[in-house]
Structure 1
Amino acid sequence: MQSNHQKETYQAPNAGSKIIIVGGGCFGLSTAYSLALNKEKNYKVWVYDREQIPVRDAASNDISKVVRMDYGDERLCMELAIDSIEIWNQWNQERHEQRLPPVYHNTGMLVFSGEGELCENEKHSLRHIRAAGHDDWIEELNAEEIVSRYPYFETAVKNGISCAYYNKIGGWCNSAEAIKHIYNKCKDAGVQFVLGDEGCFTGLEIDKNNIRSVIGIRTKTGNTHLADRVVMCTGSWTSSVVNMHKQVIATGQVVIHFKPSEEIKQILNNLPVWFGDFSRAGFYGFPDNGDGIFKIAKHSTGYLNPRRGDNVSVPRTQSTNEGDTIPVQAVRDFREYLRKFLPLTDDLDITYSRVCWYSDSIDGQFIIGAHPDYDNLIVAAGDSGHAMKFLPMMGTRITEVIENKDTEYTRAWAWRKVVPRHGFYDRPILVDDNHTVRMVTSAELRSSKI
C-alpha cells in the first residue's frame, strides 16, 4: 500500500498538464489513449519510445496473447478482463468497418487439470465467474467428454490430465495488430509521439532545487524534454532504468512455434486456447493464428540476464542478439510435456523460438502507483506476463492512478514493499561467463533432436 508520505506528496496533475509516457507498449498506449480522451482535463499527452511502434522486442509485439477472465481468486482481474472483452468486440467491429481482420478471436479456452479433479485455482475461477452471473459460459468436462470433443487429447487423458472445463468466452488476441490499432487511435485522439533516438529514454530530469521533483526526461540525443508528470511504462526494462527497490525483476519466458501440415491442421481445427494443467506444469497454447502457426509457451520462474556491475536483470532479445533461440533444457521440457499431452507435435519441427521478457513482481500483481522516491513520477510495471488481455481497459485504470483516485484497483496496485519468498531471485542465468545455459541450435529445434 502507499505510505502516508506518498499520499501527502503525490498530487493529481492539473488540467492542461503535459504528461510524458515513456514506453509505447500495452501499458503506455492504453494510458495515452485514456488520458487523451479526457477533454475536460485537456492533457497534453506525449509518448516516447526508442523504436517505431510496435517495438520489435516488446512483449506486446507478438502473434498471440491469451484473452481470459479465469483468474483464480483474483476477482478484480476477472472483472477487468470481462470489461476488456466487451471493448475487444467493439474494436473488432471498428476493424470490420475499416476492412481489417479482427484483433480478438473468441475461440474460448479449455482449462485442464490433472489428478482427476480441478485444482483449487481453477475451482476459484469457476466460483467467481459463476458469482458474476456467467454460469452459462462454463462447461465442465469429464475424461470421456474431453476425448469425444477433442480426440487429439486422448493421450493427455490417458496420462491423467483428465479433468477440464471450457469457457466459451475468451480466446486470444493478435497482440501486434492490437498495438497498431490502439496506436492509430492514440494518433487520432491527438497523442504526440517521439520515436527513435530522440525518444530513447536515458534518464529522469530532476529539479536541481528539489531532488524529489521529476521535471522531465533525457533522451539518447542528449536533449531534455520537460513535463508536469512522467509515467514510466517501460515493461521488462523498468527495473533497469528506474530503481524499483527489488519489487520487480526482468525474467525470460520461453515460446515456441510449430507450423504443421494441412492434415494436422485439419485434425486440430476446433482447438481452442488451452491451459495444460497450468497451475502445476505452466504450459499453454493457441490454435492456428491464421497463418498456420501454432504457438506454445510456458509460464515459469524464467531466466535472468544480470547486468554487469549491479546484477539487475536486463532483457536479452533477438533485436540485439539476433541468433538467440531458447535454452536446451527448455526444448527438452516442451518435448517431454507435449509427448504426453499432444503427441502429434512429436514429429514436428519447431519453426521459431524466442525468450519473451516479463516484468515479474514478487506477488504477481501489477505495481502501478507513485514512486516512493519522487513526488510526481508514476510507474506502471509488474505485468508478470498477464497484461495484454487488459489492453482496452488498462489505461482507464492507470489514469485513475495518475489522477490520484481511490478505487479498488488503485489500492490493489499501489506501490508496496513485498518481501520476496525464499529463492525468488535464485533463477537460472540465461547467458554468463561460464555458459551454464546453452541456447539450442537450429538443428536441435527439429523433431526428436533433443
Structure 2
Amino acid sequence: MYGPPKPGSKIIIVGAGCFGLATALALSSDKEKNYDIHVFDRGVIPIIDAASTDISKAVRMDYGTNKLCMELAVDAIRVWEQWNKERAENGLKPVYHNTGMIAFSDNGELSEYDKQGLETIREAGYGEFIEELSSEEIKKRYPFFETAVNNGYDIAYFNKVGGGYSWCNSSEAIMHIYKKCISNGVNFILGKESGCFESNLVDPQSPRTVLGIKTIDGNEHRGDRVILATGPWTPGVIDMQGQVIASGQVIVQFKLSDKDRRSLNDLPVWSGNVSKTGCYGFPVNDDGILKIGKHSIGYLNPRATDNISIPRTQASNPGDTIPLKALNEFREFLDTFLPLTTPLDVFYSRVCWYSDSIDGDFVICPHPNYDNYIVATGDSGHAMKFLPNIGQKIKDVIDAKDTEYTRAWAWRNKEAKLDFYDRPLLIQNNHKVLRMVTLEELKAKINC
C-alpha cells in the first residue's frame, strides 16, 4: 500500500523532461515538506531526444469532452503568462506566444471532435474565446489559406488571442523550469554513465520495496521514493502491463525566404481537420522555420529481446529522418492545404517519441508492483502545455492526495482496444516496405 513520504525524505526522480522537471519544481517549492530531491538523466538539459526538446509545442484548451484537461490548460496558461513576465524582467524573450488557433473542418460542417470541444468550452463559460468562421471569412482574414478553403477545408473556428490556443518555445521553456529547480536547490546528476538509470534497487527481503536506483556507472543511489518520469522509455525499463506504448510521431520543418515569411506573417497555430488528416502547424518562428506535425497512430520500434517498442532517436541514430510513407502524406496534404511549401525542401525532419496510454490520459500513479514507486508517464503527445502546473498534480500523487486528477490518472484495470498495439514498424524489416527517407528525397520534387 502506497503512503506519502515523510518531510525531509530523499526523493529520486528519473528523467529530466517535462514530467520530471515539473515534479522537481513542485516538490522543491514545498518548503514545509523540505524534500531532498535528486534528478537523474543520461544527457544534458534540454535532453536532446526528449519530446519536449523542440522549437514549438501547442498550448491549447480545446480538449473535446475532457473538461479536466481543459481546466488544467486554462490554469497552465496563467502560469505561462507569469513566466513571460519573469523573463521580461530579466531581459529574456517570452517562452509562451498567444497567437490563437484556427481549426479547420471540411464539407461545411465542423468535425464531431470540434463540436464536442466547443460545447465543453462554452459550458465552462469560455464561449467568448470562440469565433466560428465561414469559407469567405477565412479567405478574407487569412489569404494564404485560400487554396485550403477551395480544396474543401471550408469551415473553421478560431480560438481568439487571449482565449488559450497558442504555442511555447519548448526547449527554452525546459531551460526556464530547469533554472527554477536549480534555484530551489534540486540536485541534478547528469551524464551517460553517472546519470543513466540501469535498474531499480529492490529490497531482497521485501520485493515490493524499492530502495533506490542503480546507474550505469555501477553506483547505487538510495532514496525514500523513486519517481520514474522516463516518457516513452518507461515500458522498456519497467513492466507497465500494456498501459502505455512508445509511439513515434513525425514532424517536418521548412526554412522560409523573407518573402514567404512576410506572406505568413499572421499565421496562427492551425489544425487541418486534424481528426482526419492528423496535420497541424505553427507560426513561423524568429529563425524563419515553419514547423508542421502529423499526429496519427504512430510507428513502433520493437526491441528484439521482448518486442517492446522503444524509442529510436537521432541521438543514437544520427542519420534518421522520417518514414517515406510519412513524407508522402505530408506532401500530399500540404500541396492542397498550404502549397507555399510545395517548392520547398524539407529543412529538417524528426520522429518524435510519445508515451501513448491506452486511453489518451496520463498514467501518473503508484506502480501496482511496488509500495514506494511512482510512474509519471503516458503523455500521449499532449503534456508539454502543462509544464508550468503538471508538477503540482504529480506532487499530489506523491503526497497520496485524493483529487479528480489523481483518480483520472490512476492505474487502469482495463485492456486497450484490440488495435492499440497494431501500428506500422518504424524501419524496414524483412518484407516490410517502410523505410526512412534519404536527404535527397527530402528535397522538393519540382527541384529534382
CA RMSD of aligned residues (A): 1.1
Indicate which of 274, 281, 287 corresponds to 1:278: 274
Counterpart of 2:350?
A: 354
Any idea what the Cα deviations from partners look like across 1:186-221, whole Å, max 9, x if unmatched? 010111100011110001000111000011000010
Q: In 2, Cα distance between the equivalents of 1:439 and 1:147?
A: 36
Counterpart of 1:188?
A: 183
Task: Give the SS at the match of 1:418.
Answer: coil
Counterpart of 2:121?
A: 129
Any idea what the Cα deviations from partners look like across 1:112-147, whole Å, max 9, x if unmatched? 111211112111211222222222211110111001
Task: State the number of aligned residues.
Answer: 442
2:53–2:170 contact (8 Å) kept in structure 1: yes
Stretches of structure 2 that go unaligned for 5 or more consecutive residues are none
1:429–1:436 contact (8 Å) kept in structure 2: no
Counterpart amino acid of 2:365?
Answer: G
Displacement of 1:262 in angstroms is: 1.3
List aligned pairs for 1:237-252, cutoff 5 A. Answer: 237-252=233-248
Percent of pairs with identical residues = 60
Q: In 2, Cα distance between the equivalents of 1:162 and 1:299?
A: 21
Counterpart amino acid of 1:148?
Answer: K
2:444 is equivalent to residue 447 of structure 1 = yes
Counterpart of 1:163?
A: 155
Task: Give the SS at the match of 1:187.
Answer: helix
> Runs (4+) of structure 1 moved beyond 4 Å?
none
Counterpart of 2:142?
A: 150
Displacement of 1:280 in angstroms is: 1.3
Indicate which of 129, 149, 167 corresponds to 1:172: 167
Indicate which of 351, 368, 376 corresponds to 1:380: 376
Q: In 2, Cα distance between the equivalents of 1:448 and 1:167?
A: 35
2:323–2:427 contact (8 Å) kept in structure 1: no
Return 126-135 or 262-271, whichever deviates more. 126-135
Counterpart of 2:20?
A: 28
Counterpart of 2:420?
A: 424
Q: TM-score with structure 2 length normalisation?
A: 0.97
Return 340-349 or 57-66, whichever deviates more. 340-349
Q: In 2, Cα distance between the equivalents of 1:438 and 1:119?
A: 32
Return 329-338 or 125-134, whichever deviates more. 125-134
Displacement of 1:225 in angstroms is: 0.2
Any idea what the Cα deviations from partners look like across 1:10-42, whole Å, max 9, x if unmatched? 101111111000000000000000000111111
Counterpart of 1:57?
A: 49
List aligned pairs for 1:2-81, cutoff 5 A. Answer: 9-81=1-73
Counterpart of 1:3?
A: none
Q: In 2, Cα distance between the equivalents of 1:321 and 1:439?
A: 11
List aligned pairs for 1:330-409, cutoff 5 A. Answer: 330-409=326-405
Task: Give the SS at the match of 1:20.
Answer: strand
2:210 is equivalent to residue 214 of structure 1 = yes
Q: TM-score with structure 1 length normalisation?
A: 0.97
Q: In 2, Cα distance between the equivalents of 1:202 and 1:50?
A: 10
Counterpart amino acid of 2:97?
Answer: H
Counterpart amino acid of 2:190?
Answer: L
Counterpart amino acid of 1:448?
Answer: K
Indicate which of 319, 323, 327 corresponds to 1:327: 323
Displacement of 1:419 in angstroms is: 1.4
Counterpart amino acid of 2:46?
Answer: P
Counterpart of 1:436?
A: 433
Q: In 1, Cα distance between the equivalents of 2:155 and 2:443?
A: 31
Any idea what the Cα deviations from partners look like across 1:346-378, whole Å, max 9, x if unmatched? 111100001000000111110000101011100
Return 436-445 or 291-300, whichever deviates more. 436-445
1:85–1:170 contact (8 Å) kept in structure 2: no
Displacement of 1:433 in angstroms is: 3.7
Counterpart of 1:268?
A: 264
1:47–1:191 contact (8 Å) kept in structure 2: yes
Q: In 2, Cα distance between the equivalents of 1:181 and 1:158?
A: 42
Q: In 2, Cα distance between the equivalents of 1:36 and 1:94?
A: 19
Counterpart of 1:98?
A: 90
Task: Give the SS at the match of 1:41.
Answer: coil
Any idea what the Cα deviations from partners look like across 1:253-291, whole Å, max 9, x if unmatched? 010000121111111110000011011111000011111
Indicate which of 221, 228, 233 corresponds to 2:224: 228
Q: In 1, Cα distance between the equivalents of 2:433 and 2:41?
A: 33
Counterpart of 1:298?
A: 294
Displacement of 1:432 in angstroms is: 4.6
Q: In 1, Cα distance between the equivalents of 2:61 and 2:218?
A: 44
Task: Give the SS at the match of 1:354.
Answer: strand
Q: In 1, Cα distance between the equivalents of 2:5 and 2:200?
A: 18
Counterpart of 1:4?
A: none
Counterpart amino acid of 1:402?
Answer: I
Displacement of 1:155 in angstroms is: 1.4
Stretches of structure 1 that go unaligned for 5 or more consecutive residues are 1-8
